[in-house]
């Protein structure tokens, strides 16, 4: 038996698997899993069959400027996160719920068995290519707003009338990412500073993610989501768009359709899953972004991360 504790039975929900999104990638990630585990090799080989490129070569050897292109970044992180999550579950660490930041929601839903690895990767491929294309067709940018509350940030975006700019990621209290047309984002950045933001930094991204500029990507992805089988998840997955747990196939499908044009409500998701009984969380995938956010959201959540085979082998809760 693993460390799963059944929430439905009225016991304490303990472990959440949290899956990272874009910008957590690094060249060489997952190579130890490919070389040293049967599951890792199988899944990377399947991924090469599904992708139109040698995704193994890009993930393991880069170069970085290729790996960080959206159409490769998203599938790469998804592949690595799912392999790590499955190896953790093979070890006996069974999550009681899951969540994923933007792209990471697909990894979380695969680990929750709402769809299989291949279906998830096909969805992520369509999503990533759609977002890359939308970014080329409708140039946009994003900026991090530090030290301003959610409500004020959102109001400034809503009041700006000379272009599209919206709140895209509510990462922590006092850290919101805004997204939209280049001119509009740059126009509201000084307004955020005037309203009391400590820092406003434009991000190096290939498009205005989680904004109306992603509409063309949403249309392509919606078509695919409506054509595939999605199952009820075996554990609740906290949806980005509502910060609430979903498990029914219909709600999962709608959440993924809505996700591209709506904000990621991350700190609300973490607060909600803790309220629902989660005491421990594990970042399943490359990097430490979610661990950093967790510390700023609520330090009482026991948060760790797993991104290598060595960490999987040595993973244990005391």
What percent of the chain is modeled with pLDDT above 70? 95
Residue/partner pairs of 87-90 with CB below 8 Å, 24 or more apart:
87/33, 87/37, 87/39, 87/40, 87/309, 87/312, 88/17, 88/282, 88/284, 88/306, 88/312, 88/315, 89/2, 90/39
Are residues 112 and 157 both part of a single domain? no
Instruction: State pLDDT tens for residues 18-69.
Output: 999 999 999 999 999 999 999 999 999 999 999 989 999 999 999 999 999 9
Indicate the pLDDT class of residue 318, thresholds 50, 70 and 90. Answer: low
Residues spanned by the domain of 95: 15-136+212-314
The catalytically annotated residue of 24, 114, 206, 210 is 210
Q: Is residue 4 part of a domain?
A: no
Are residues 275 and 163 both part of a single domain? no
The residues, ordered by sequence, that sit 6+ positions from 244 with a Cβ below 8 Å of its Cβ are 238, 272
* Residue 196 in this model has a pLDDT that exceeds 80: yes
The model's pTM? 0.94
What's the mean pLDDT in 1-5? 38
- CATH number (domain holding residue 155): 3.30.70.250
- What pLDDT shows up at residue 1? 30
Indicate the pLDDT class of residue 73, thresholds 50, 70 and 90. Answer: very high
Q: Is residue 113 part of a domain?
A: yes
Are residues 42 and 76 both part of a single domain? yes
Number of domains in the chain: 2
The catalytically annotated residue of 24, 81, 96, 102 is 102
What's the mean pLDDT in 113-123? 98
Q: Does 210 qualify as catalytic in the annotation?
A: yes
Are residues 65 and 19 both part of a single domain? yes
Are residues 61 and 184 both part of a single domain? no
Q: Does 102 qualify as catalytic in the annotation?
A: yes
Are residues 155 and 23 both part of a single domain? no
Q: Is 147 helix (H, G, I), strand (E, B) or coil?
A: coil
Query: Mean pLDDT across the chain, nearest whole number?
Result: 94
Are residues 111 and 172 both part of a single domain? no
Instruction: State pLDDT tens for residues 158-190.
Output: 999 999 999 999 999 999 999 999 999 999 999
Q: Domain ends where: 163, 184, 202?
A: 202
Are residues 116 and 149 both part of a single domain? no
Q: Is residue 7 part of a domain?
A: no
């Amino acid at each position: 038996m693993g460390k799963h504790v059944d929430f439905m039975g009225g016991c304490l929900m303990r472990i959440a698997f949290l899956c990272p999104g874009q910008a957590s990638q690094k060249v060489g990630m997952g190579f130890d899993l490919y070389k040293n585990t049967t599951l890792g090799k199988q899944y990377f080989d399947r991924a090469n069959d599904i992708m139109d490129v040698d995704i193994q070569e890009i993930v393991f050897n880069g170069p970085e400027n290729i790996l960080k292109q959206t159409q490769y970044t998203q599938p790469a992180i998804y592949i690595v996160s799912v392999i790590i999550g499955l190896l953790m579950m093979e070890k006996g660490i069974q999550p009681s719920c899951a969540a994923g930041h933007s792209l990471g929601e697909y990894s979380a839903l695969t680990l929750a068995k709402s769809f299989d690895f291949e279906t998830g990767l096909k969805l992520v491929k369509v999503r990533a290519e759609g977002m890359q294309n939308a970014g080329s067709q409708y140039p946009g940018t994003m900026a991090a707003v530090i030290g301003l509350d959610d409500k004020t940030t959102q109001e400034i975006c809503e009041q700006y009338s000379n272009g599209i700019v919206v709140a895209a990621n509510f990462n922590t209290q006092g850290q919101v990412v805004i997204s939209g047309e280049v001119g509009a984002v740059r126009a509201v950045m000084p307004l955020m500073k005037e309203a009391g933001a400590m820092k406003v930094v434009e991000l190096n991204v290939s498009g205005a993610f989680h904004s109306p500029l992603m509409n063309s990507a949403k249309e392509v992805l919606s078509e695919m989501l409506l054509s595939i089988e999605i199952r009820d998840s075996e554990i609740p997955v906290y949806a980005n768009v509502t910060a609430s747990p979903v498990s029914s196939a219909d709600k999962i499908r709608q959440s993924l359709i809505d996700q591209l044009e709506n904000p990621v409500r991350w700190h609300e998701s973490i607060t909600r899953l803790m309220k629902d009984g989660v005491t421990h969380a594990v970042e399943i995938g490359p990097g430490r972004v979610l661990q950093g956010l967790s510390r700023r959201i609520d330090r009482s959540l026991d948060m760790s991360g797993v991104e290598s085979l060595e960490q999987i082998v040595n993973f244990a809760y005391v």
